[in-house]
C-alpha cells in the first residue's frame, strides 16, 4: 500500500505521526514537501510576531494520542500541579518553546526523515488505483496539506512589511488588522517604546480560541455539517472575522498606553510606517496545486472553499479503494478550525480511518 502526504508543515507532521501510530510503515508513506523540518514555516511566523505562548491549550500538540497533553508534561517536568490546574480552568497555554520541543521529539520518534522527499508537487491526478503526483504513483491514499497560499497585503499596503516577516518597531507605527497577530504586535510595539496607531475597519471579536469552543466538539460540528452550503459558507465567513483572546494580559498594556496617549485607533495610517498584520490570502484559487486539482477534476466548490465530506475527503475522488483528503486551511469545509493543531489532527485521524478500512 502506498500513501502520500503533500505539504511539509504542522498538518503534515500530525498526519504522518497518526499514520505511523496506526501501524503504517515508513516505507508505505512518502511526504512531498519543501521543508525537511515541518515546524520551520510556522516557527518563522511565530518568531516574527514574537509569539511566546500558544493560543491553543494543553491538547495543542501534534502527537496522535491526546493524552498526555502539554500541561501534564510541563507539570511532570517542573514538578508542580500548576499547569494541570490552569488546564482544568481552560487557562493553560503552553509556551511556544515547549510546543516546538515536543514537535521536534515527535518528528524524531516517528521516522519522518525516512519518508520525506524534497519536492513541490504541481499536479495531483486521479488515475486507476489512486493518484499520481507529478506523474509519480499511483498512491492509493493522499492527504494534501499545503498550508496558506501566501501573505495577504490589502490594496495600498503592497510595500508594507508583513507581521509574519522579520521586522523591528519604528518610534511611531501603524498596525493594520485586528486579529491575534495584530494584538500581539500592539503589545510588542508598545513594549519596544513605540507609539501605536491601530488601523481597523471593525472592532475585533474577543474569543479564547480561534473559533467558538463548541465547534471543536462532535455536537457543535454536527449542526455545522448539517447546514446547507450557503449557510455553511456564511458560517465560515463569519468565523474568519479577526479575533483575539479576552483577558487582562491583552487589555492592561493597551489601557495604560491609551492613558499615555501612545495607543489609538484609526481607519487610515496616513504617512505612518505600517506593519500589515493582515493574515493570509484566502481561498483555494490562490494555491496553484489546489486550483489545478479543482479545474482538472471539475470539483465542487462553494465560494472560496472546496466542498468536502465531513471527514475532510474530496467526495468525487474518494471511495472504498482510494482517498483524497485536504488538511490545514484547505480542509475548512469539513472543520471550521482546520487551520489549527486540533484541525490538523481532525483530518489526520479521519485519513487514518480511511487508510485502515482499505488495508
Ligand X SMILES: Cc1cc2nc3c(=O)[nH]c(=O)nc-3n(C[C@H](O)[C@H](O)[C@H](O)COP(=O)(O)OP(=O)(O)OC[C@H]3O[C@@H](n4cnc5c(N)ncnc54)[C@H](O)[C@@H]3O)c2cc1C
Q: Which residues bind ligand X (CB under 6 A)?
A: 6-12, 32-35, 41-42, 45-46, 49, 51, 54-56, 60, 120-121, 145-148, 289, 328, 339-341
In the bound state with ligand X, the residue whose beta carbon lies nearer, of 181 and 197, is 181
In the bound state with ligand X, the residue whose beta carbon lies nearer, of 130 and 331, is 331
In the complex, minimum distance from the CB of residue 235 to ligand X, in angstroms, rounded to a whole number: 19
In the complex, minimum distance from the CB of residue 341 to ligand X, in angstroms, rounded to a whole number: 4
In the complex, minimum distance from the CB of residue 121 to ligand X, in angstroms, rounded to a whole number: 4
In the bound state with ligand X, the residue whose beta carbon lies nearer, of 9 and 83, is 9
In the bound state with ligand X, the residue whose beta carbon lies nearer, of 146 and 269, is 146
In the bound state with ligand X, the residue whose beta carbon lies nearer, of 41 and 130, is 41
What is the CA angle 296-301-303, rounded to 5?
130
In the complex, minimum distance from the CB of residue 158 to ligand X, in angstroms, rounded to a whole number: 20
In the bound state with ligand X, the residue whose beta carbon lies nearer, of 64 and 328, is 328
In the complex, minimum distance from the CB of residue 102 to ligand X, in angstroms, rounded to a whole number: 13
In the complex, minimum distance from the CB of residue 60 to ligand X, in angstroms, rounded to a whole number: 5
HEC states along the chain?
CCEEEECCCHHHHHHHHHHHHCCCCHHHEEEEECCCCCCHHHHHHHHHCCCCECCCCCCCCCCCCCCCCHHHHHHHHHCCCHHHHHHHCCCCCCEHHHHHHHHHHHHHHHCHHHHEEECCCCCEEEECCEEEECCEEEECEEEECCCCCCECCCCCCCCCEECCCCCCCCCEEEEECCCHHHHHHHHHHHHCCCEEEEECCCCCEECCCCCCHHHHCHHHHHHHHHCCHHHHHHHHHHHCCCEECCCHHHHHHHHHHHHCCCEEEECCCCCCCEEECCCECCCHHHCHHHHHHHHHHCCCEECCEECCCCCCECHHHCCCCCEEEECHHHHCCCCCCCCCHHHHHHHHHHHHHHHHHCC
In the bound state with ligand X, the residue whose beta carbon lies nearer, of 32 and 262, is 32
In the complex, minimum distance from the CB of residue 38 to ligand X, in angstroms, rounded to a whole number: 7
Question: How far are the Cα atoms of 94, 275, 333 from residue 313, in angstroms, in the given order?
Answer: 31, 37, 10
In the complex, minimum distance from the CB of residue 147 to ligand X, in angstroms, rounded to a whole number: 3
In the bound state with ligand X, the residue whose beta carbon lies nearer, of 147 and 269, is 147
Amino acid at each position: 500500500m502506498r500513501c502520500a502526504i503533500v505539504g511539509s508543515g504542522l498538518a503534515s507532521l500530525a498526519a504522518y505521526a497518526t499514520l505511523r501510530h496506526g501501524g503504517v510503515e515508513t516505507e508505505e508513506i512518502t511526504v512531498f514537501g519543501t521543508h525537511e523540518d515541518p515546524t520551520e514555516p510556522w516557527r518563522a511566523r511565530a518568531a516574527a510576531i514574537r509569539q511566546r505562548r500558544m493560543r491553543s491549550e494543553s491538547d495543542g500538540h501534534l502527537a496522535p494520542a491526546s493524552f498526555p497533553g502539554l500541561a501534564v508534561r510541563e507539570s511532570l517536568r517542573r514538578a508542580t500541579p500548576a499547569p494541570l490546574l490552569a488546564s482544568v480552568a481552560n487557562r493553560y497555554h503552553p509556551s511556544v518553546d515547549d510546543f516546538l520541543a515536543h514537535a521536534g521529539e515527535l518528528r524524531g520518534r516517528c521516522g519522518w526523515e525516512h519518508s520525506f522527499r524534497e519536492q513541490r508537487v504541481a499536479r495531483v491526478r486521479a488515475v486507476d488505483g489512486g493518484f499520481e503526483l507529478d506523474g509519480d504513483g499511483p498512491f492509493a491514499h493522499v492527504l494534501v496539506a499545503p498550508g496558506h497560499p501566501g501573505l495577504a497585503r490589502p490594496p495600498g499596503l503592497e510595500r508594507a512589511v508583513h507581521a509574519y516577516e522579520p521586522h523591528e518597531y519604528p518610534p511611531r507605527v501603524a498596525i493594520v488588522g485586528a486579529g491575534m497577530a495584530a494584538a500581539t504586535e500592539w503589545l510588542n510595539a508598545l513594549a519596544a517604546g513605540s507609539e501605536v496607531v491601530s488601523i481597523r475597519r471593525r472592532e475585533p471579536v474577543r474569543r479564547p480560541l480561534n473559533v467558538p469552543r463548541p465547534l471543536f466538539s462532535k455536537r457543535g460540528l454536527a449542526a455545522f455539517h448539517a447546514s446547507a452550503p450557503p449557510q455553511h459558507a456564511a458560517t465560515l465567513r463569519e468565523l474568519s472575522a479577526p479575533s483575539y483572546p479576552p483577558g487582562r494580559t491583552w487589555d492592561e498594556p493597551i489601557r495604560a498606553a491609551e492613558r499615555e496617549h501612545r495607543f489609538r485607533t484609526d481607519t487610515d495610517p496616513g504617512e505612518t510606517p505600517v506593519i500589515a498584520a493582515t493574515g493570509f490570502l484566502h481561498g483555494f484559487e490562490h494555491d496553484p496545486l489546489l486550483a489545478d486539482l479543482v479545474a482538472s477534476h471539475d470539483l465542487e466548490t462553494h465560494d472560496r472553499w472546496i466542498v468536502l465530506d465531513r471527514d475532510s475527503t474530496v467526495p468525487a475522488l474518494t471511495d472504498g479503494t482510494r482517498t483524497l483528503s485536504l488538511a490545514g486551511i484547505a480542509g475548512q469545509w469539513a472543520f471550521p478550525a482546520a487551520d489549527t493543531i486540533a484541525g490538523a489532527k481532525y483530518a489526520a485521524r479521519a485519513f487514518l480511518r480511511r487508510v485502515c478500512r482499505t488495508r
